[in-house]
Amino acid sequence: MFKITLGENLFLHLIEMQHAQELHSVVDASRGHLRRWLPWVDAMKTVADFQPVIHAWLQQYADGRGFQAGIKKDGVLVGVIGLHDIDWMNRRTSLGYWLTEAYTGRGIMTKATQAVLAIVFNDYQLNRVQIQCGVTNYESQAIPKRLGFLFEGVVRDGEWLYDHYHDLVQYSLLREEWLRYISSGGR
């Protein structure tokens, strides 16, 4: 399987059709945790619900519009990280991710995000990456803050979450900022 190694027993891999079962199990076991901030959780009830989604992700990859990668720790799928489309005209993209509850707080998502940023800025030579998080989703906001993103503003009622709209905070990182961040040892 094609991977990006992040550390000891930790890697990213493109999500293929044969991962539908595993993806469903992980989401199913973590519904309560995930649905706090992810609007699609309730709609994904069976393995079959994930198949068209995975196919759409692979099509996105084939069309050069980004990718969705599984995060694998000690042989277990523990989350997903990916790009929401790539705007080649303006060389921008947007980054999203989630982790099951048991694996939060271990620096896994920070490492995963760093690896995806390397693809964004090195392989794809993009100029800008954006991350949007729920305005009170502090866990998720910790990632862009830790990696040198700047806060840009609040997208009011940016997302419908089952029964209400909620506001999204928006962070961004520019190519030159990332190069500086990397050359300074990533601190």
Whether the CA torsion 45, 18, 113, 110 is positive or negative: it is positive
DSSP state of 52: H
Residue among 62 and 74 whose Cβ is closer to a second copy: 62
Query: What residue has token string 């699609």?
Result: 40
Out of 7, 29, 39, 45, the residue judged to bind a second copy by CB under 8 A: 39
Q: Which of these ranges, 30-38, 105-113, 166-174, 178-186, lies near a second copy under the rule CB under 8 A?
A: 166-174
7 vs 105, beta carbon nearer a second copy: 7
Q: Using the rule CB under 8 A, is 154 a contact of a second copy?
A: yes
Contacts of 103 (CB under 8 A, 6+ apart): 73, 78, 79
Residue 131 beta carbon to a second copy: minimum distance, rounded to whole angstroms = 13
Q: Judged by CB under 8 A, does residue 13 bind a second copy?
A: yes
The Cα 27–Cα 23 span in angstroms is 6
| 96 binds a second copy, rule: CB under 8 A | no
Q: Report the nearest approach of a second copy to the CB of residue 127 (Å).
A: 6
Distance CA 30, CA 158 (A): 24
Closest CA to 96 of 121, 71, 127: 71
Binding of a second copy by 59 (CB under 8 A): yes
Using DSSP bridges, classify how beta strands 128-134 and 92-99 pair: parallel, antiparallel or unpaired.
parallel
- How many chain residues bind a second copy (CB under 8 A)? 45
The stretch among 25-33, 75-83, 95-103, 167-175 that binds a second copy (CB under 8 A) is: 167-175
| Contact with a second copy (CB under 8 A) among 9, 42, 46, 55 | 55
Sign for the pseudo-dihedral over CA of 69, 70, 71, 73: negative
- d(C-alpha 66, C-alpha 57), whole Å: 8
Q: Which residues bind a second copy (CB under 8 A)?
A: 1-5, 12-14, 16-18, 39, 55, 58-59, 61-64, 69, 89-92, 119, 123-125, 127-128, 130, 150, 152-160, 165, 170, 172, 174
